[in-house]
A and B are shown apart, each in its own frame.
Chain A
């Protein structure tokens, strides 16, 4: 309820901050692609900013490597409330092909446990799968975070009859 009210203030012109936590740069290039005049995320008032203190939405890529962990926590601490995170790419969602490597945390879902220990609250998270995610998928995820579009996927259970 309160979050929705606060989101309304952000909706018109969300300023995004691009946070790379050790990704392979494919998703980062797709984010830049989404911001170019070809896909033109600026239609929705999306603007890339250089500091997390100016950001409304964090575009999060990468599986959170151990090397980047303290810096990522520090950066997310600097983002003002409401903190909205759009986790982009299969690495950021479920760990990707580094799902059980020693040197990564394994995606944003597991990383939220670390954030809780540090006392950093995340108000809304949107997961955007794709390896790398398409520019359209990134725009769709961003619009889902801001409440412009409705979610299309849900948990499916199929039972084999035989």
Chain B
């Protein structure tokens, strides 16, 4: 009885000595990050089309897209992001990369926002801005379509097709 009372703390001590120090010295040492850790995303403006596929899959609407005059603004709000990485899987241009950044603490919500501003290209017929310039540029690389066809907005394209169809069946104009 007496021996076990003395021996049991010694047993703990031997275990503690065997394991050693486990505390992470985080702000003064490296953080504990695993291979599969997902942090904040980063959007590459050189690759982004401004198609908005990421805004459709984002579960908490951290990625939103809005029109500001003749500009498309893709807004990323880190404060609402749940770091699922769905946008990186969906992005057709591979512009979104999941980084391992996690030190995102900020004193105001505005500091957590990120804007990607796209220029819009105008329709060759009606002159209305209809799509991001980068999207036309990259789609023309992928698909065999002419610039003449790509620079027309969907409404004008529809009108032109109807007109051509009518002329085939004998309409005057």
Taking Cβ atoms with an 8 Å cutoff, the residues of A that contact B are 37-40, 43, 90, 93-97, 99-100, 107, 109, 124-131, 133-134, 136-137, 139-141, 143-144, 148-149, 151-162
Contact = CB atoms under 8 A, between A and B. Distances in A.
Nearest to B58: A97
B170 interface: no
Nearest to A138: B105
Interface in B61-116: 61-62, 77-83, 102-116
A137 B105 contact: yes
B92 to A, nearest CB: 16
A162 B77 CA distance: 25
Interface stretch (B7-15, B18-26, B152-160): B18-26
Q: Chain B: interface residue count, which band?
A: 35 or more
Given A97-B59, A140-B27, A158-B116, A153 B80 contact: no
Given A96-B82, A158-B43, A127 B102 contact: no
Nearest to B37: A134
Contact of B82 (A97, A124, A154): A97
Contacts of B128: none
A157 B107 contact: no
B134 interface: yes
A59 B26 CA distance: 19
A136 B25 CA distance: 10
Interface in B111-153: 111-119, 132-134, 137
Contacts of B81: 90, 129, 131
Nearest to B26: A136
Majority-rule SS of B interface residues: loop
Interface of B: 22-24, 26-27, 31-32, 40, 43, 45-46, 48, 50, 59-62, 77-83, 102-119, 132-134, 137
B60 A90 contact: yes
B80 A93 contact: yes
A128 B80 contact: no
Given A39-B24, A158-B117, A162-B119, A153 B134 contact: no
Given A99-B61, A160-B116, 7 more contacts: A40-B24, A109-B109, A140-B27, A153-B112, A155-B114, A157-B114, A160-B132
Nearest to B45: A158
19 contacts: A37-B23, A39-B23, A94-B62, A127-B112, A129-B80, A129-B81, A133-B102, A134-B31, A137-B104, A144-B107, A151-B105, A154-B111, A156-B113, A156-B115, A157-B114, A158-B117, A159-B45, A160-B48, A160-B132
Contacts of A95: 60, 80
